């Protein structure tokens, strides 16, 4: 039977769970939370990199940022598959933990919990669907190299996973985790990346990744082009999009538009 409230926002986990399960609940929640913290941080940085104008400010022969993008993507896939697809008594996943938590909830709150889970059913379905695509990539390429008798990779799927797909999966995981927290909010980003954090007056509010990318832009030939004696001629060959982007950076760095 459902409780009078349709959420647990005003209740402590100790009120909702059987007393004997509280310590295990806190331990399991902490395990899941640390993985989600890593995943959200990965994707925060990855989004900055994906949207960065490499082709304008960095020599294409320099592979550093491409390597960073690959590393963050593969690590994110590993985290997602751990949280969604891992099975077995000793392997913690958010799906397994969800089922365990329901068993530990006091009878009078089970209806409320089931109602909250029903609202997340599309997210759970989406997680399972997405995992079917990325798990083979994890199993056969990232974590292992599965080859045939001719030493060719057996994996025949897409070797790339779009940032938008990872971001969507992460959002679904965050929503399910929120249910498992009974409405109590956990920080899912490092403080430096959390837009809700208020920075002291006079300090630089930019996240570290944004700060470093801005330094690269400011040091680039592309950004310094308006200082060249040939700027008037070069400006004629810029697309409107490129000029808008240049002026966006100049405005950000306190420089007049050109």
Q: What is the pLDDT of residues 47-70, one digit of tens each?
A: 999 999 999 999 888 899 999 999
Task: Give Cα separations from 187 to 40, 42, 181, 197 (angstroms).
Answer: 10, 14, 12, 11
- Predicted confidence at residue 88, as pLDDT, reads 67
Q: Go through the chain and tell me how many residues it has.
A: 258
Residue 87 scores a pLDDT above 80? no
Tell me how far apart the alpha carbons of residues 64 and 227 are, in angstroms, rounded to a whole number: 28
DSSP designation for 65 = H
pLDDT in tens, 172-228: 999 999 999 987 888 999 999 998 888 888 888 999 999 999 999 999 999 999 999
Residues sharing a CB contact under 8 Å with residue 186, sequence separation 6 or more, in sequence order: 33, 177
Tell me how far apart the alpha carbons of residues 215 and 220 are, in angstroms, rounded to a whole number: 9
Which pair of structure tokens corresponds to residue 137? Answer: 């990539």
Q: How confident is the model at residue 2 (pLDDT cuts 50, 70, 90)?
A: very low
- Predicted confidence at residue 5, as pLDDT, reads 47
DSSP designation for 19 = G
Tell me how far apart the alpha carbons of residues 109 and 182 are, in angstroms, rounded to a whole number: 11
Let me know: does 47 contact 167? Beta carbons within 8 Å: yes
Tell me how far apart the alpha carbons of residues 27 and 234 are, in angstroms, rounded to a whole number: 60
Q: Is the dihedral of CA 208, 210, 216, 218 positive or negative?
A: negative
Cα dihedral 212/218/221/222 (nearest 10): 100
Residues sharing a CB contact under 8 Å with residue 178, sequence separation 6 or more, in sequence order: 185
Task: Give Cα separations from 93 to 8, 34, 41, 70, 90 (angstroms).
Answer: 22, 12, 19, 24, 10
Let me know: does 33 contact 142? Beta carbons within 8 Å: no
Q: How confident is the model at residue 241 (pLDDT cuts 50, 70, 90)?
A: very high
- Predicted confidence at residue 166, as pLDDT, reads 94
| Backbone dihedral region for residue 202 (phi beyond 0: left; psi -120 to 50: alpha; all else: beta) | left
Q: Is the dihedral of CA 52, 53, 55, 59 positive or negative?
A: negative
């Amino acid at each position: 039977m459902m409780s009078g409230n349709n959420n647990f926002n005003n209740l402590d986990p100790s009120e909702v769970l059987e007393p004997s399960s509280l310590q295990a609940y806190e331990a399991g929640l902490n395990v899941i939370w640390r993985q989600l913290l890593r995943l959200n941080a990965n994707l925060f940085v990855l989004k900055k990199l994906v949207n960065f104008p490499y082709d304008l400010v960095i020599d294409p022969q320099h592979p550093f940022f491409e390597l960073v993008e690959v590393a963050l993507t593969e690590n994110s896939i590993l985290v997602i598959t751990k949280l969604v697809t891992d099975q077995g008594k000793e392997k913690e996943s958010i799906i397994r933990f969800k089922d365990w938590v329901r068993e530990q909830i006091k009878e009078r709150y089970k209806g409320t919990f089931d109602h909250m889970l029903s609202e997340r059913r599309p997210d759970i379905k989406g997680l399972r669907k997405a995992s079917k695509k990325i798990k083979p990539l994890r199993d056969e390429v990232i974590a292992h190299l599965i080859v045939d008798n001719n030493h060719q990779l057996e994996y025949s799927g897409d070797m790339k996973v779009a940032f938008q797909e990872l971001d969507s999966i992460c959002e679904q995981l965050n929503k399910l985790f929120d249910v498992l927290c009974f409405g109590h909010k956990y920080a899912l980003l490092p403080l430096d990346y959390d837009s809700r954090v208020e920075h002291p007056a006079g300090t630089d509010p930019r996240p570290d990744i944004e700060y470093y990318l801005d330094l690269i832009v400011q040091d680039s030939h592309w950004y310094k082009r308006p200082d060249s004696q040939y700027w008037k001629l070069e400006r004629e060959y810029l697309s409107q999009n490129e000029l808008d982007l240049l002026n966006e950076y100049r405005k950000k760095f306190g420089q007049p538009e050109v």
